[in-house]
Copies of this chain bind each other. A is one copy, B any other.
């Protein structure tokens, strides 16, 4: 292999007997066969989507064959709609047909949709088969491939069905980002910015100063991705099952998920990261409205997200959006609802987010009404 060792960053997720590494750098997919063999797999069930298959599957298949591994590939249509019960049944059936056994490996090759779907399929196949995450979107590299949350959507809400199933290894080949559409790259960037906004004001300041860092190939991109993974790994190691402050990672997600549900997960109108960007801007504006956070910090968040081309208002979503009540109802079906109470991630400023477990529903509804007013 010609890749240079100094290009590769390693982040460790400290989860005791479920600990694993995240490798980040260009060209890693060419070594996936070797990595799978090292994990002791005999056969590999690759799960990918049609788009990613056309771009990166040949590299993976060459590598698996080169390592002497048996493999079979299950392809699903690209897009959020594949996170369904029907597709889950098809993926599981494909893995059974490929005779993937308990000591073998499922390889999730793609963005967050494939990672969540394949990870969940691996979790329930024969009551648990290991999964190697090979994320190919920025969002998947900095967020969804790390931490073990897997799952599918219900018509009643996003990610309502799933399992915790940590990967055995994450290979984030940053060269795959070169084929990722600009809009998807931007969407993933929302999660990168999120880590700064949660508790790392220095990282946010670095991003403000280098708005193209993560968008262009090179060491700054790897640094931005590795910093993100490190932040996520630290939270996950502290709180694997989200009983406590792992909820911080949902900054921007309570509003974002409600918006995604409202457009019925139509990615032509809104992709996940765009929902998160709008949601983070809303969380800061809501925090400011509640008197918790300086207006200037909310404005700073809006400025940086806008600078990289991300939406910050509901009005940026093309087409009609439900009223405040409709969004509010979506939020109440959220997994994070506890005993009927709404949990929000709010902020006292950039890098000072916190979990607010008992937000007054009337204030939330009022805030939503103002956000959705034509003037806004």
Contact = CB atoms under 8 A, between A and B. Distances in A.
Nearest to A162: B127
A151 B127 contact: yes
Contact of A128 (B96, B97, B164): B164
B162 A124 contact: yes
Nearest to A120: B124
A339 interface: yes
How many monomers of this chain does the complex have?
2
Contacts of A97: 156
A154 interface: yes
A331 to B, nearest CB: 14
A96 B88 CA distance: 18
Nearest to A161: B124
Given A85-B85, A156-B97, A92 B339 contact: no
Specify the main secondary structure of chain A where it touches its partner: mixed
A129 to B, nearest CB: 10
A164 B127 contact: yes
A365 interface: no
Nearest to A96: B156
Given A101-B339, A127-B335, A93 B154 contact: yes
A156 to B, nearest CB: 5
Contacts of A162: 124, 126-127
A89 interface: yes
Interface in A69-124: 85, 88-89, 92-93, 96-97, 99, 101-103, 120, 123-124
A338 interface: yes
A82 to B, nearest CB: 15
A213 interface: no
Contacts of A88: 85
Given A124-B124, A149-B127, A92 B161 contact: yes
A333 to B, nearest CB: 8
Interface of A: 42, 85, 88-89, 92-93, 96-97, 99, 101-103, 120, 123-128, 149, 151, 154-157, 160-164, 241, 333, 335, 337-340
10 contacts: A85-B85, A96-B157, A96-B160, A96-B333, A97-B156, A101-B340, A103-B338, A103-B339, A123-B163, A126-B160
